Amino acid sequence: MALISLEHVSKVYPKGTRPALDDINLDIDRGDFVFLVGASGSGKTTLLSLLLREEEATDGEIRVAGNDLRRLSARQVPHYRRQIGFIFQDYKLLNNKTVWENVAFALEVIGTSRSTIKSLVPKVLQTVGLTGKESNYPHELSGGEAQRVAIARAYVNHPQILLADEPTGNLDPTTSLGIMEVLDAINRTGTTIVMATHNEEIAHRQDRARRAAGILRFRAVFPGRRSRVEIAPGIGHFRSEREIPSTERHRFNERS
């Protein structure tokens, strides 16, 4: 059974002139690294918001880690989100807290003991390459370092799933590569990652690196209107029904 499953999911905002997502079908297995690739307005952030349960789908069914998101009550949502880490493009660090305190805060708010916090924080900072930066404040960090803090904060509780919304969007290519190496290392521990990006080259570069290492649990997904997902080894993508030749359409819909 897929860890994340979307069936005929659509999202229409009250003042929107067209659906943000229209009839999306997608399965993501445990341990996958999936990119959502597309320009601004293509529905990437909307899809992540649905998975985080910040938004609710207008139509369709979403299941995440055994949870039917339509049936989650408001009281159940905070507990559900403990299974998910979220990485923001603009970091959203607390400027009055140090690197250590920013990461620890994610554990404090869910009632983690001090002894556990003291054990987990240095380990996750080592994972993201920030050992020695524990006492620095956000204004003393580079953009890449700030994003590594954001990754550490999202991952410190070892969630099943990491959602990343354009985590390299504000970074130069070299720094972006370092961030992708961190995410790749986390994914190889078994954490499922779903990452939104407008940069198709990042997705293809990751695909090439994975293939060279003999690892094929990777897909790039291209959201589109009136779409179904086609699963294929390596790269998979959303294809609009308008893009599918009529001779292929029946066979394609059978696979969806």
What pLDDT, on a 0 to 100 scale, did the predictor assign at position 41? 80
User: 0.75 exceeded by the pTM?
Assistant: yes
Q: Could you say which residues of the chain have pLDDT below 50? A: 216-218, 224-256
Measured CA to CA, the distance from residue 183 to residue 40 in angstroms comes to 22
pLDDT score recorded for residue 249? 32
Residue 226 CB contacts under 8 Å (≥ 6 apart), including other chains: 22, 23, 240, 241, 242
pLDDT computed for residue 106 by the predictor: 96
For residue 5, the cross-strand partners are 27, 63
Enter the tokens of residue 125: 């900072």
The residues, ordered by sequence, that sit 6+ positions from 71 with a Cβ below 8 Å of its Cβ are none
Contacts 24+ apart (CB under 8 A), 183-188: 183/33, 183/151, 184/33, 184/209, 185/127, 186/127, 186/151, 186/155, 186/162, 187/31, 187/33, 188/215
Task: State the pLDDT at residue 204.
Answer: 75
pLDDT given at position 18: 86
Q: What per-residue confidence (pLDDT) applies to 253?
A: 33
Side-chain half-sphere exposure of 118, counting CA atoms within 13 A: 3
Can you tell me whether residue 224 is helix, strand or coil? coil
* 202, β-bridge pairs: none
Q: What is the pLDDT of residue 243?
A: 34
Please report, as a single letter, which amino acid is at residue 60. Answer: G
